Amino acid sequence: MPNANAPLAVICAMAEEKAALREHMTAIETRDLLGRSVTLGALEGHDVVVAESGVGKVASAVTAALLAREFGCRGLVVSGVAGGLDPSLHIGDTIIAHSLVQHDYGHLHDAALTPFRPGVPPLGPNRKDIAFDLSPEMVERLRRVAAAIQLPDLPGDIVAPESQSAHDRPEGLPRRVLMGRILSGDQFINSEAARRRLHQEFEAQAVEMEGAAVAQVGALLGLPVVVVRCLSDLAGAESHLDFPRFVDAVAPGAALVLRHIIREL
Ligand code: ADE
């Protein structure tokens, strides 16, 4: 049973994502943990240890396990950006994961991958239980808080009408904060065909490269895992252009949502 007074571990893959949180932390101290810079402090009065893990499932899983062991953390959080899979979403919308799936773990036969639960041999009957899910009580609490969060408009210069990007948010449409399924894999998704397949096959809202790996660590250690992702791109043919264009503007969206929900974690 985790100690209720222990800090929460927050894992950010990239420096931009960690910087967006650090701005709002108080009582800051920085330490090195096996080459990772870890920032200790408080976020909205709650003790946190925030680390930049590096990108991908292994980097984030190792960091999550290190933080949990070194600081006796009571829960694991991943905060940052993601690619949108659901065509009803726009850049700047934010998803809190009620369900996390590693979309690249499974049995590859001919061109198709049958997904399996990470950690079990991907052979034999498909066990179906591929997702790491939040408890229904936590989902309900987070859904209530999420519904009341208002995100500020994205800066005008990056959503300017002369922009070439087809994915810009329609003018005046408020940014949304929703619960959804987030996929993780060791791939940056930059293909409309892949976006459509992942959305349809997994009924998922967003894709990134860490959250479901941290969920696997949480399941092993008996720790709750919450993943908050603001959309930097829509995982389609233009995501390689949208990601660098929007990452700095949307990373604070995930940080803001985390500040609102942290009292529920
Ligand atoms: N993180 C942000 N955008 C992403 C994408 N398109 N694919 C995977 N991870 C992402």
Instruction: Give the chain's domains with CATH numbers.
Output: 8-264 (3.40.50.1580)
Atom of ligand 1 nearest to the CA of 185: 8
Q: At what angle do helices 15-22 and 239-261 cross, to 10 degrees?
A: 30
Q: How far is the CA of 240 from the centre of ligand 1 (A)?
A: 9
Q: How far is the CA of 82 from the centre of ligand 1 (A)?
A: 5
Rounded CA separation 69/66 (Å) = 5
* Whole-Å CA distances, 183 to 126, 132, 245: 18, 10, 22
The one-character DSSP state at 126 is -
What burial class does residue 233 get, using C-beta atoms within 10 Å of its C-beta: 0-12 exposed, 13-18 middle, 19+ buried?
Answer: buried
Q: What is the pLDDT of residues 4-48, one digit of tens each?
A: 789 999 999 999 999 999 999 998 899 999 888 899 999 999 999
**Does 83 contact ligand 1 (Cβ within 6 A)?**
yes
Single out the residue of 81, 12, 80 nearest to residue 243, CA to CA: 81
**Could you tell me how many helices (H) and strands (E) the chain has, helices first?**
6, 12
Given this model, what pLDDT does residue 168 score?
Answer: 64
The one-character DSSP state at 112 is E
Q: Do residues 145 and 260 lie in contact, with contact meaning Cβ atoms separated by under 8 Å?
A: yes
Residue nearest to atom 2 of ligand 1 (CA): 82
CB-based burial, 33-61: b 16+ in 10 Å, e otherwise: eeebebbbbebeeebbbbbbbbbbbebbb
Give the pair of three-digit tokens for residue 249: 């503007």
**Does 10 contact ligand 1 (Cβ within 6 A)?**
no
Residue nearest to atom 3 of ligand 1 (CA): 83
Q: Do residues 242 and 195 lie in contact, with contact meaning Cβ atoms separated by under 8 Å?
A: no
Rounded CA separation 104/86 (Å) = 18
The one-character DSSP state at 59 is H
The residue assigned the tokens 């790491």 is 132
The residue assigned the tokens 């959503």 is 159
Q: Do residues 188 and 129 lie in contact, with contact meaning Cβ atoms separated by under 8 Å?
A: no
Known catalytic residues? 17, 233
Give the pair of three-digit tokens for residue 89: 């979403």
Q: How far is the CA of 203 from the centre of ligand 1 (A)?
A: 17
**Does 210 contact ligand 1 (Cβ within 6 A)?**
no
Give the pair of three-digit tokens for residue 109: 């036969």
**Does 243 contact ligand 1 (Cβ within 6 A)?**
yes
CA-based angle 203:206:207, to the nearest 5? Answer: 105
Single out the residue of 154, 170, 180, 174 nearest to residue 251, CA to CA: 154
Q: How far is the CA of 188 from the centre of ligand 1 (A)?
A: 5
Q: How far is the CA of 95 from the centre of ligand 1 (A)?
A: 13
pTM: predicted TM-score of the whole model, two decimal places: 0.95
Q: What is the pLDDT along the chain (265 residues), one digit of tens a residue?
A: 678 789 999 999 999 999 999 999 998 899 999 888 899 999 999 999 999 999 999 999 999 999 999 999 999 999 999 999 999 999 999 999 999 999 999 999 998 999 999 999 999 877 779 999 999 999 999 999 999 999 999 987 776 554 455 556 777 789 999 999 999 999 999 999 999 999 999 999 999 999 999 999 999 999 999 999 999 999 999 999 999 999 999 999 999 999 999 999 9
**Does 234 contact ligand 1 (Cβ within 6 A)?**
no
Rounded CA separation 169/161 (Å) = 10
Given this model, what pLDDT does residue 160 score?
Answer: 54
Task: Return the SS3 of 256.
Answer: helix
**Does 228 contact ligand 1 (Cβ within 6 A)?**
no
